[in-house]
């Protein structure tokens, strides 16, 4: 009787850098940065490590490429849906980044690496340009462009990163609405003499929407930028 030999699944598409990056993003979403190895990547793509190294030199380059790919998708959507005012375009851009960071738990840390440690890479200039063009369109003095755009970016990535971290911190199976309700209930029972503010906002915490709260913060910054220009 003939024996059946085990064979490695054959690729049905030619291997390309784009396919490698796409597979890397999927692995990062599912397993996090620690789960992205060249071994797991070769298994997913049914190829050998040499074929991947031909396109990507190391894991650092792969992480940078995955980050760039996700950000490129966000900016492409933002360009496909132009709005009437710079303020609306900034909101669209900010919310797109907020959602991307929520959908890709690894993205916040990688953006911090790119924005702080690799300002000459492709990600930092593209994000700065997208915010900066719209800040300039608000009519603020050129001398304040860098500060205003930086303030927006710091808020967007800080708030989006914290929101994503909050979601990851929930225990498996814990409902977010129930969690917020429990926290708000505890805050309502705090000593009013020591925690008057916390007691007053407890009900707002219970009912708030993360995306709406995020956009309200964007609007506060935009109001400050335009108000300082008028002054």
Task: Give the pLDDT of residue 144.
Answer: 93
pLDDT of residue 23: 95
Predicted pLDDT at 4 = 42
Residue pair 21/69 in contact (Cβ under 8 Å)? The answer is yes
- Give the angle subtended at the CA of 197 by the CAs of 191 and 202, to the nearest 5°: 85
What local confidence, expressed as pLDDT, does residue 7 receive? 43
Give me the pLDDT at residue 82, please: 59
pTM here is 0.84
The Cα–Cα gap between 109 and 70 comes to 13
| Per-residue confidence (pLDDT) for residue 97, from 0 to 100 | 96
Instruction: Give the count of beta carbons closer than 10 Å to the beta carbon of residue 16.
Output: 10
> What are the residue ranges spanned by the domains of the chain?
84-230
**DSSP assignments along 42-61, one per residue:** HHHHTS-HHHHHHH--SHHH
| Residue 81 pLDDT | 56
Identify the pLDDT of residue 41. Answer: 92
pLDDT the model gives residue 99: 96
The CATH number of 84-230 is: 1.10.357.10
- In tens digits, the chain (231 residues) has pLDDT values of 444 444 444 444 568 999 999 999 999 999 999 999 999 999 999 988 888 889 999 999 999 999 999 999 999 865 555 567 999 999 999 999 999 999 999 999 999 988 888 888 889 999 999 999 999 999 999 999 999 999 999 999 999 999 988 888 877 777 888 888 888 999 999 999 999 999 999 988 887 889 999 999 999 999 999 887 665
């Amino acid at each position: 009787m003939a024996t059946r030999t085990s064979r490695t699944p054959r690729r049905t598409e030619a291997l390309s850098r784009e396919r490698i990056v796409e597979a890397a993003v999927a692995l990062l979403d599912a397993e996090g940065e620690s789960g992205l190895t060249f071994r797991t990547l070769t298994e997913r793509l049914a190829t050998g490590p040499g074929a991947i190294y031909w396109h990507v030199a190391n894991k650092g380059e792969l992480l940078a490429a995955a980050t760039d790919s996700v950000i490129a998708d966000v900016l492409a959507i933002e360009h496909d849906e132009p709005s009437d005012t710079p303020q609306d375009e900034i909101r669209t851009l900010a919310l797109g980044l907020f959602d991307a960071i929520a959908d890709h738990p690894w993205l916040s840390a990688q953006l911090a690496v790119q924005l702080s440690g690799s300002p000459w890479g492709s990600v930092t200039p593209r994000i700065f340009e997208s915010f900066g063009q719209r800040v300039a369109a608000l009519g603020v003095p050129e001398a304040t462009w860098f500060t205003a755009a930086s303030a927006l970016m710091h808020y967007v990535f800080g708030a989006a990163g914290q929101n994503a971290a909050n979601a990851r911190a929930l225990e498996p199976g814990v409902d977010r609405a129930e969690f917020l309700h429990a926290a708000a209930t505890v805050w309502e029972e705090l000593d009013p003499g020591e925690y008057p503010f916390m007691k007053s906002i407890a009900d707002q915490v219970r009912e708030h929407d993360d995306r709406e709260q995020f956009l309200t913060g964007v609007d506060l910054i935009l109001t400050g930028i335009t108000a300082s220009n008028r002054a």
